[in-house]
Every structure is written in C-alpha cells, then in structure tokens.
A and B are shown apart, each in its own frame.
Chain A
Amino acid sequence: MRVGVVTFPGSLDDQDAARAVRYAGAEAVSLWHGEDDLAGVDAVVLPGGFSYGDYLRCGAIARFAPVMRSVVKAARDGMPVLGICNGFQILCEAHLLPGALIRNDVRTFVCRDQALRVENADTAWTSGFEAGQQIVVPLKSGEGGYVAPEATLDALEADGRVVARYAGSNPNGSMRDIAGITSENGRVVGLMPHPEHAIDALTGPGTDGLGFFTSVLASVVSA
C-alpha cells in the first residue's frame, strides 16, 4: 500500500502527513507539484501549508499544478484523496468538493486542540470510526470557515456528505459547524483540522487522527 503526499512550494505539513502514513503501516511516497506522475500510488494526501504563498486565494494556484491534473483524474476514477487544511482548500478550488473556505470569523489564526464529531464513517478515510464518535484533533488555520450556498449545504446534509463537525463552540464560523466533507462516492475527503498531528500522544493531543490513515488502508484493500 503506497500513499502519495504532494509537496507544493509552501507545503508545510507534508513530512507530518508522510509520518502519519507510515504510522498507519503504509509506505509514504513523496510527490512533487511540478510532475504529473503519481508514481503508482494507491491514495493521495494533499497536506496543509500555504501552497504558492496563498497568493491570490488559498489553493487557487495549486489547483493548476501539473500534479493536480493527475490527482483530479485519479480521484474521478475512485482513488482516495484526503485534503487537509490547505489541501481541503485546493480540493474546493479544483471542484472535487463543493463550497469554499474563507477567513475565520474571529479574524485571527486559530491553533488549538479541537473536538470533532465524526458524522460519516463510511468514507474511504473515516471507515475506522463510528458515526457520532467524538475525537480530538489539532485545528490550525487562518482561513478555515467553510461556506457554501444553502442549497448545497442542504444537499450535503441530505446525502450524508458532512464527514465531521466541530463539537462544542464553532472555532471559525464554518456554516453548520462543518469541519470536513466528502465527494459523492465517499472517496475524496476534505478536512480543515489536522489528523496528521494527532497520531502520537507525545507530540499531539492523542492518537485520534491515526484513524483517517488506517481507514484508507482498509478501503484500498477492500476495493
């Protein structure tokens, strides 16, 4: 099982995502933004950071990177893709997921241990959780407010495509407390908090985040 982790200029959590993949028991494969070869990986993580300096708009330039052509095509063919934070923003810009991420309503960057409720435990990245399970994962973002038209939000809710919600107080003004959503086929997941920072109690709030990476192993093996 090989999981690719893309490095864009300005990616920051790429090493962390690779570490999480290894902790989950898979091989992490480094993918470079400028190449469209996915090196035969079984799944892809778009890590957090500030790709291309967040110039213009978060994720707006990264979506045009050569590697994204291949990621979009593979995702449409069913490859599991997880976008974390900036990766979530890129997935929205690439139209693999609906909606957008805007500046936090509190107007400052927010870094904290965040409680989440897993709403959908049937995606490629959350099958290891139980629906309704509460987990704690670091949140760290300046533009983490999820927004979408009401009709889109209603459709996401109706189709069970809300993957996780913020539990307790809403940290960034996300509509309907949404922390993560998935594609229609449940293979592409965008998540604002950082599960790769919750894989070891030594360096994070716990190990709740590891479930995202072990889930994808199971989903690829069973697919």
Chain B
Amino acid sequence: MTDSVRTAEQTPDVEQPWAELGLKADEYDKIREHLRRRPTSCELAMYSVMWSEHCSYKSSKVHLRQFGDKAPRTDALLVGIGENAGVVDVGDGYAVTFKVESHNHPSYVEPHQGAATGVGGIVRDILAMGARPIGVMDPLRFGPLDAPDTRRVMPGVVAGVGTYGNCLGLPNIGGEVVFDPSYAGNPLVNALCVGVMRHDHIQSSGATGVGNLVVLYGAKTGGDGIGGVSVLASETFTDSGPTKRPSVQVGDPFMEKLLIECTLELFRDDLVVAIQDLGGAGLSCATSEMASAGTGGMRVELDRVPLRDSTLAPEEILMSESQERMMAIVEPAKIEAFMAVCERWDVLATVLGEVTDTGRLVITWRGETVVDVPPRTVAHEGPVYERPYTRPSWQDDLQADVPTPERLPRPGSPEELRDTVLRMVAAPNLADKAWATEQYDRFVLGNTVLAQPEDSGVLRIDEESGLGVALSTDCNARFAKLDPYEGARLALAESYRNVATVGARPLAVTNCLNFGSPEDPEVMWQFAEATRGLADACLELGVPVTGGNVSFYNQTGDTAILPTPVVGVLGVLDDVTRRTPQAFTEPGQVIYLLGETRDELAGSEWAHEVHSHLGGRPPRCDLAAERALGEILINASRDGLLDAAHDVSDGGLAQALVESCLRGGTGARIWVPDGIDPFVFLFSESQARAIVAVPRTEEVRLTDMCTARRYPHQRIGVLDSGGAEGPALDVQGLFSLSLSELRARREATLPAAMA
C-alpha cells in the first residue's frame, strides 16, 4: 500500500526507519516539525538523502562560508558559489565554468564504474551551467604502488576515467597520480570538468514561471545507486520481497554524449527556462532544488517517469541515481520544439509536471499524494552543525620531529647524490605517469595546446584570437598533515604557480576537500584549518573560489587519510601560441632558477621515499613571492623571453631538471651556486620557485625583469646536447647521468608494478 500524505496523517505513530537511513533523532523530529505530521516514506527518503552530509554540507557549511565572506573583489566572477559551478569571465564575450568533485567511495567499491560515473557527473554539472564541456582532469590518489589492492583499484579507476571521458570526446589534459599508504583503503578519485559558453547562454536552475512544464530527459530510471533507501522501500513493500539494489551507479557514456549534444542544441534554440542535472539524490534533489531556487512550487506525477525496471517503488524512483539524466523547465509554447530536438538525438523526454505558485513541492503516485513539502526545507534549509574540533594531541610531536641531518642522514658524496637522483626519479610519486595518461585521449576537439605532464593543461577557446584557458590541480597532502592551514595555502600556491608557469593569468579557484570523519574532532580541526587557510590565501592572491566539493568520511577504521585539500586554479591566456612549455629543446640556452632555496625537507618527497619520514613544519608559504614569481612568468611568456619553464615542487630542483630535460630530449650542465649545500640545492622543496630556459639574446631582459621586482634569480646552468654519449644531466664537479638512463628508470616504475 502506498504511504500517502493521507495515510501519514491518519497513522502518526507508525515507526519509521529514520536511523537506518542515516538520520539522527533530532533531524527526524525536525522533519516532523516542518511538516506538522510524520513524513510519508517518500518524504522520509527525500529528506534523508538531501540532508546527508554529501548533499547538505551540514558539517562543512559553517566553514565554507569563508570562501564567500573573504572572497577577493573581482569583476571576473559572473556566477558565484551556490549554483552547480561558478562562472568566470575570460574576455571577448566568453565565460568559462569549472568544478572538481569527488567520487571516492564508489571508486573503492567498484573502481571502473565509480570513476566513470564521477566523470559523468561533473560533466553534467558543467553542462547544466549552459556550457559546452571542453576538457577534464583527474586528480587521483592510491595506496602504495606495491600494495596488492592498488593493483585492483588503480587499473580500474584509470580505465574508468579513460573510457568515459574518451567516449564523451573530452580531452583529458591533466591531473595527478599520487601514492600514499593512507589511501590504501580509501582511494581518492576527484574529477574536474571545464566548459565554455557565451555570456548570454548562462543557465539557471530555478524553476520559474507558473505553468511552465517540468521535463525529465535522458536515460530511463533504474535501480542503480539507490543505496540505503532500499531499506525503506523493502519495509514498505514487504509483500513483494526485500529489494537489494546496487549502490554504485553504472554509466553509459554514449547516452551522455547524446545528452550533451541534445542539451547544447536546446540552449542554442533557447528552449529551456532552467536546467539541472540529476546526480546524487536523483529526482529528489532536482525537484526540490529547482523548486526551491525558483517560484517555489512544483507538481510532479511520479508515475510518468520512464523506468528500466517496472517494479521500482516510488521511494526508489525518487532516490535512484541512474546516470545520464537532466531536468528542464520549459515554456508550454516551446515544448513541441523541445521534444523535436530530443527526438533528433534519440533522447527520451517526458513531461512530469508543472511549476506552481503554491510554495509546495507536491509529488503524486497512482493518484495519491506521496510528497507535499516546502521545497526549501528539503534543499536549502537542512541541518547545520558546528562540529566540535580540537588540535590533535599528536600535532606538536609531529611538528617537532624535524628532518635534521642528524635525524635523517643525507647523501653527501657525489656518488650518493647521483644514486639519490636515480632513486628519486623512479619513486612512484615522481616516476613517469604515461601508464595512466596514455589511456586518456588528449587530442579530441583539436584545441589541446598543452596536456599532462605539462605544468598546466591549456585549451584554446577561440581559433581566431587564440584565447585560451589553463588549468592545474595540486595538493601535497603531507604538507597538509604537518600543518593543515599552511598545507591548504601551499596547495593553492602550487596550483597558482603551475598556471602562471605556462604563461596564464590565474583567475579563479575550485577545490575538492577530501578529509576523514567530521565526527572526529581532530579531523574536523584539520578541515577547519584547511578551509581557513585556503580562504585566506585566495584573498591574498586575489583569486576567488567559484565552487567545489567536500568529501568526508575518507578513512579506514579509525585511521583517516592525509588531509587532502585538492585545489584547482583556472587561468586565462590571451593568445595560446604564447604558452610556455616545460621541455628543454635548444642547446646553448641558459637556465635560471627563480626564487630562494632554503633547507626545507619536511614533508618532502625525499623524506617520504628514502626515509618514510613525515615530520617538521612544511616549507614556508610566501604568497607575495608567489604573486611576484607569477607576474614574472606571465610577463616573460607574453614578451617571448622564455622557451621553457617548469615549476619546482615535488622532488625539488633535481626532479624539475630531469623532467624538462627528458621532455625535450636535451641535456643540461648545472653548477651548484656558492654557499649552498648540493643536497639542499637539489632536493629541497622550497616554494615560489621555477626553472626557466632563456635564449641568450633575452637573458638581460629577463634578469632586468627579476631585478626590478627584487626577485631572487640565479643562473644555474646551460642546455647542452651532450657529447658522444648523448645528452646528460651533468651537475658539474659532482656527477653526470645520461638522459637515456634517467628515462629508463623513470619510465619503468608504473609499467613494472602494473604488469
């Protein structure tokens, strides 16, 4: 029997499985207060999923507010936080939208589909803003490379990201592949999508205009991704037997490709009033959010939803996270044209109901009202928690464990330094990632100017003018563990620097905040510190957060992952032909190191790889220096002073040099400046540094530019094609390593582990 509103009124004392659905007692009471009766099972399902941590941000909201409160003044932001994704003005009438989201838990349960649907979800978010998706990136984190489960998880995740993105025809232009023991039982699969549109095509998600039609289009609704709600459905329908639905969604990228082209045609012909994708919480989310953001009322006949499985209960239909579905609000006069476009793309479209001015979201099932709620209480007025947080008891000890030479023996002799370089280039975190990135199509759409392993991905937006965008995602989570506030700032600093390194002007920020359980006060402290640090740093660098995502409960038992605030920065290039690549190519050019090198090895890749050590304080974060370095890199790129540039980060200067040499197949002769220890020079991870290759004719202009900004710069070497033995990285007076040996070491690690 259907649990209708009428039934609920007549049977106020029925026991309801709110606890099984993840609601707390006071949350259930709050629902009863909102409705002034007990919820129907459909309403309970809706509230439970919309008030979940994932949908409501109930633990993070109070902290995320800082991104708005401390937002720097900028004219670039056309749509701020709150919509599916923020929208940034990049000039010439173009607007760009970008966002990163997590799909961590599904990817652990079912790596291929979990990762694939992560890509699919973020692409629909971008589409729902009115933009054509033009590229994706995937920051990925796994357990140790040699852990047995990494062999299960990583190939599946990489293939899932690849298959879905490749089939959508979206170039994959960057991301990360990072290994750390803390991710062994909890891999991080974050997915970023970027899209472009004309200013006047920006879409809203508010269901406005009484009498306008509510249309569901795309794939049919099935039983996938229902998760905990099945508890409820099986309780309601005992006679038809308990339903056990898979809680990981299954993706069909072909359907999504059709959905994208169909939707863009609907925008082009101005056939929609508002639009939203169906992601987490499915129809519950789309109906309540669109109604809440619009005129305020909506009436939907749930029976009309096309089903893949006719036995689905109404609660399940409301909760289903079946992929490749969108909801649109359409004027009655345009519905015929809307349907014609859908038919052309073989996309199923169904009118479910209409916009009303009642202020209520009313959903009927077989003639009975099963939902009658104020939509704001579901979508926007969920619970908000001020979770207690405390600085971890171990934080002081961790910071006191400084990697001094006495604590962690350092290589001293030329042979030891040479061996350390060889070991480091083969370390999983520094090794070549082609095993993963060769599974991604980086060419499709024909606008990819730079892609991994470059410092940033660069996409051309306008073929005539050469206008383009650059994107990078970064996070050194070890730094964040040592100091979450500084770690988050450092993540932004690195991403900002990567964007500037290719010559792009940083404009806006997205983030994916991956943490352990918010119910653990020590984890909550990490989160509070990281958000505070990121908000402060965004203000200081003048780049606003436009949107993002929080992923909590990333832990195995009581052990949380490293706090991992992944930061993505978007920049703009007026002319992509001016971009600065990473590769050293022209023998005779001089190499400059920009920035200051200090003895900063805490949290470094060297300490991690060689000593499995994590302690001390992270490198100093100097955002004024980052800003100055950024200006130098951007101006030098625009003026054509640089042939190559590469940021110095994980693995220090040695790694940056190896990467630029190998990328261009050109060697380098390097001299260690006076007064600095060679080991510190090669392996310190001091921030605000980059290496650049400069034609001799431009050398003075570059040094003048640095001098004018009082920015530290040192001539540390020259590019060299090498002698009879071929090109080499020759650190003068210490050691020489042939590029062929470095390449062989660096490229062997991942294939050997995955063979």
Nearest-CB distance from B216 to chain A (Å)?
20
Over the window 1-40 of chain A, the binary record of Cβ atoms lying under 8 Å from chain B Cβ atoms (1 yes, 0 no) is 0000000011011011001000000000000000000000
Q: Are B448 and A10 in contact (CB under 8 A)?
A: no
Q: Tally A residues with Cβ within 8 Å of B.
A: 28
Q: Are B159 and A50 in contact (CB under 8 A)?
A: no
Any B CB within 8 A of the CB of A221: no
Q: Are A55 and B254 in contact (CB under 8 A)?
A: yes
Q: Tally B residues with Cβ within 8 Å of A.
A: 32
Any B CB within 8 A of the CB of A190: no
Most buried by A among B437, B443, B447: B443
Pick the contact of B254 from A50, A108, A112, A140 — CB < 8 Å? Answer: A50
Q: Are A9 and B345 in contact (CB under 8 A)?
A: yes
Q: Are A111 and B441 in contact (CB under 8 A)?
A: yes
Docked pose: A3 CA to B649 CA in angstroms? 48
Pick the contact of A53 from B162, B167, B169, B434 — CB < 8 Å? Answer: B167
Most buried by A among B159, B169, B437: B169
Given contacts A10-B167, A197-B446, contact A203 B460 (CB under 8 A): yes
Query: B576 contacts which chain A residues (CB < 8 A)?
Result: 202
Any B CB within 8 A of the CB of A109: yes
Number of A-B contacts (CB under 8 A): 86
Pick the contact of A140 from B252, B257, B441, B449 — CB < 8 Å? Answer: B441
Q: Are B254 and A13 in contact (CB under 8 A)?
A: no
Docked pose: A114 CA to B339 CA in angstroms? 44
Residue of B nearest to A32 (CB): B344
Query: A50 contacts which chain B residues (CB < 8 A)?
Result: 166-167, 253-254, 257
Nearest-CB distance from A211 to chain B (Å)?
17
Q: Are A194 and B443 in contact (CB under 8 A)?
A: yes
Nearest-CB distance from A17 to chain B (Å)?
9
Nearest-CB distance from B252 to chain A (Å)?
7
Q: Are A19 and B446 in contact (CB under 8 A)?
A: yes
Docked pose: A55 CA to B168 CA in angstroms? 15
Any B CB within 8 A of the CB of A78: no
Pick the contact of A111 from B167, B252, B438, B447 — CB < 8 Å? Answer: B438
Nearest-CB distance from B754 to chain A (Å)?
9
Any A CB within 8 A of the CB of B124: no
Over the window 71-112 of chain B, the binary record of Cβ atoms lying under 8 Å from chain A Cβ atoms (1 yes, 0 no) is 000000000000000000000000000000000000000000
Nearest-CB distance from B262 to chain A (Å)?
10
Given contacts A12-B169, A13-B169, A109-B166, contact A53 B252 (CB under 8 A): yes
Q: Which of B417-450 contact A (CB under 8 A)?
A: 434, 437-449
Docked pose: A130 CA to B254 CA in angstroms? 39
Query: A16 contacts which chain B residues (CB < 8 A)?
Result: 443-446
Docked pose: A53 CA to B443 CA in angstroms? 19
Pick the contact of B438 from A52, A112, A202 — CB < 8 Å? Answer: A112
Any A CB within 8 A of the CB of B303: no
Pick the contact of B162 from A54, A109, A138, A196 — CB < 8 Å? Answer: A109
Docked pose: A197 CA to B169 CA in angstroms? 13
Query: B460 contacts which chain A residues (CB < 8 A)?
Result: 202-203
Most buried by A among B168, B257, B345, B460: B257
Any B CB within 8 A of the CB of A153: no
Query: A111 contacts which chain B residues (CB < 8 A)?
Result: 437-443
Pick the contact of B446 from A52, A112, A196 — CB < 8 Å? Answer: A196
Pick the contact of A9 from B254, B445, B447, B577 — CB < 8 Å? Answer: B254
Q: Are A15 and B446 in contact (CB under 8 A)?
A: yes
Docked pose: A196 CA to B447 CA in angstroms? 12
Over the window 446-472 of chain B, the binary record of Cβ atoms lying under 8 Å from chain A Cβ atoms (1 yes, 0 no) is 111100000000001000000000000
Any A CB within 8 A of the CB of B163: yes
Nearest-CB distance from A87 to chain B (Å)?
14
Docked pose: A108 CA to B441 CA in angstroms? 12
Over the window 98-129 of chain A, the binary record of Cβ atoms lying under 8 Å from chain B Cβ atoms (1 yes, 0 no) is 00000000001111100000000000000000
Residue of A nearest to B166 (CB): A109
Most buried by B among A53, A112, A196: A53
Query: A19 contacts which chain B residues (CB < 8 A)?
Result: 446
Nearest-CB distance from A192 to chain B (Å)?
14
Docked pose: A132 CA to B731 CA in angstroms? 41
Any A CB within 8 A of the CB of B346: yes
Query: A15 contacts which chain B residues (CB < 8 A)?
Result: 445-446
Query: B440 contacts which chain A residues (CB < 8 A)?
Result: 109, 111
Docked pose: A138 CA to B444 CA in angstroms? 10
Query: A48 contacts which chain B residues (CB < 8 A)?
Result: 444
Q: Which of A126-142 contact B (CB under 8 A)?
A: 138, 140, 142
Any A CB within 8 A of the CB of B258: yes
Q: Are B444 and A203 in contact (CB under 8 A)?
A: no
Nearest-CB distance from B753 to chain A (Å)?
14
Over the window 735-752 of chain B, the binary record of Cβ atoms lying under 8 Å from chain A Cβ atoms (1 yes, 0 no) is 000000000000000000
Query: B448 contacts which chain A residues (CB < 8 A)?
Result: 203
Any B CB within 8 A of the CB of A173: no
Residue of A nearest to B257 (CB): A10
Q: Are A52 and B577 in contact (CB under 8 A)?
A: no
Query: B167 contacts which chain A residues (CB < 8 A)?
Result: 10, 12, 50, 53-54
Q: Are B254 and A12 in contact (CB under 8 A)?
A: no
Query: B159 contacts which chain A residues (CB < 8 A)?
Result: 108-109
Pick the contact of B163 from A109, A112, A203 — CB < 8 Å? Answer: A109
Query: A110 contacts which chain B residues (CB < 8 A)?
Result: 438-439
Any B CB within 8 A of the CB of A80: no
Residue of A nearest to B258 (CB): A9
Name 7 extra pairs, CB < 8 A, besides A109-B159, A109-B162.
Answer: A9-B346, A16-B444, A16-B446, A50-B257, A109-B166, A111-B438, A138-B443
27 pairs across A/B with beta carbons < 8 Å? A9-B345, A10-B167, A10-B254, A12-B168, A12-B169, A16-B446, A48-B444, A50-B167, A50-B254, A53-B252, A53-B254, A53-B255, A108-B162, A109-B159, A110-B438, A111-B439, A111-B443, A112-B438, A140-B166, A142-B163, A202-B449, A202-B460, A202-B576, A202-B577, A203-B446, A203-B449, A203-B460
Interface residues of A, Cβ cutoff 8 Å to B? 9-10, 12-13, 15-16, 19, 48-50, 52-55, 108-112, 138, 140, 142, 194, 196-197, 202-204
Listed from nearest, the 10 A-B pairs whose CB atoms lie closest are A53-B254, A12-B169, A16-B446, A197-B443, A109-B439, A140-B441, A50-B167, A138-B443, A108-B439, A109-B162
